[in-house]
Amino acid sequence: MVMAQRYFSLSDKTALITGAASGIGKCIAQIFAESGASVWIADVNSKKGEETEQAIRSQNGKAKFVYCDVTQSESIRPAVDQILKEESRIDILVNNAGIGFVGNLLQTPEKEFERLMDVNVKGVFLMTHAVLPSMLARKNGNIINMASIAALIAIKDRFAYCAAKGAVLMMTKSIAMDYVDQGIRCNCICPARIHTPFVDEYLEKNYPDTKDMMFSQLSAYQPLGRMGKPEEVACLALYLASDEASFHTGDAFPIAGGTLMG
């Protein structure tokens, strides 16, 4: 009897995932580990990062937390050096760390705009700048950036977020074009609203008396009538990280619940 081939295996691969202590990043780390990867959880939240590490290890997965502030090169360099020392290579980089802000242009303070650009744009630049040389040395590397449907369409009252994620989309395409002949692939994921702890915290903070109604409104924005699940985004990331996606580079993958149909 011929056994069926196992698809989407990350066996013997090392993955570095930023913002992996919670939310989408945590799910990506868990699913990558289940698929055989040695996962490095990079985050500024040491407590949650270590909890994610232990949760993966309890399921016999390979995981390790490393403190990393994606806005600071002096924080990134030691983290990347540690991984390369222990693993000898980074096969997959997932630039997932990101933050949001609600407001139109006039409602966006300069400090909030700079904060979004620091984490969502500069963070992708600095992390990739630190990891890419080791990938080029091996002529093999896979970079996945977390963009948003806000990179593809304008979303009301998300001025800074749209600007930041639009930059992520074009950085993705630029990296893919510049290094396509050197063994590097770079793609991005463009989710619509995903139900993460961030959503619950946002509603509790801003709409404590009407959070159920607001949750329903946010869910209804997607034609499918619900928000996406972090696991659904993580499964798309798994595909892009796998050899089965080897014909993709410079591509943007919406996971949008029908939002982009029109």
Q: Give the position of tokens 């600095």.
A: 126
**253 Cβ contact list (under 8 Å, min separation 6):** 187, 188, 189, 190, 236, 240
What is the rounded average pLDDT of the residues 204-225?
93
pLDDT attached to residue 6: 76
Asked if 24 and 30 touch (Cβ cutoff 8 Å), the reply is no
User: Is pLDDT at 5 greater than 70 in this prediction?
Assistant: no
The residue among 17, 153, 210, 37 whose CA lies nearest residue 97 is 17
Domain boundaries, the chain: 14-192+229-254, 195-227
Among 5-9, 39-43, 57-61, 98-102, the minimum mean pLDDT is found in 5-9
Asked if 103 and 148 touch (Cβ cutoff 8 Å), the reply is no
Topology annotation, domain 14-192+229-254:
Rossmann fold (3.40.50)
Among 67, 161, 202, 207, the active-site one is 161
Quick one: pLDDT band at residue 1, thresholds 50, 70, 90? very low
The residue among 203, 187, 15, 173 whose CA lies nearest residue 100 is 203
The residue among 243, 51, 227, 24 whose CA lies nearest residue 145 is 24
pTM for this one?
Answer: 0.95
- Above pLDDT 90, what percent of the chain? 95
179 is catalytic: no
Quick one: pLDDT band at residue 37, thresholds 50, 70, 90? very high
